[in-house]
Amino acid sequence: DAQVGRLIDFLGRTPEGRNTIIIITSAHGEAFGEQGYYSHGYNLYRELLHVPLIIAGPGIPQGERIGHLVRTRDLFSTVLDLAAGGHTPFSRESLARFWSPGFRPQPFDNFAVSELVPVFNEGGKLAMISLTTPEWQYIYNSNGRQELYRWPQDPLDQTDLAHSAGAKATLQRLHQRLVDLVAESS
């Protein structure tokens, strides 16, 4: 954090830095044994999906923390939107909506879909897809196994609720939402 602050401060003191938008993120997280895995590319648990995202520069509020679910896929729209001053066909998908006055989450703000398709079937890796909502992390494995985590209370996906009493309706609802989202995607 201190080094990121130093970089932003340094750029802010340069003529070019005053017109520079800085985005720091990651393609994926890294597992350090939370689920018995190390590295990445084996599952879709939160330690691999929840990545840092820092955006700084002109027109971006300093010190504001967005607690809402966001998707890295919206970075493309965000870069175009910020570079063009908010006047692009992509502005609707720009992450700038989260710090705009009067922001109200829309239905498309309340989910993120992630997928893992192993290139080689080494070590029994399974294809899987997940749906993250503000309350749930739902994972569907290609062998039909379903996993369900209430991530705000269980951020490391330690307690699989898929087989708990009362989970059936939630599993069905999230599975159907995931199927619908995939069917609507390009």
Average pLDDT of the residues in 17-36: 76
Q: Which residue has the higher pLDDT, 75 or 43?
A: 75
Q: What is the pLDDT of residue 11?
A: 85
Looking at the chain, the whole-number percentage of residues with pLDDT higher than 90 is: 22
Q: What is the pLDDT of residue 73?
A: 85
Assess whether pLDDT exceeds 80 at residue 24.
yes
| Rounded-to-5 percentages of helix, strand, coil across the chain | 35, 15, 50
Query: Which residues lie below 8 Å from residue 90, measured CB to CB, with a gap of 6+?
Result: 76, 77, 80, 81
CB 80 within 8 A of CB 90: yes
Q: 146 — phi, psi (to 5°)? A: -115, 145
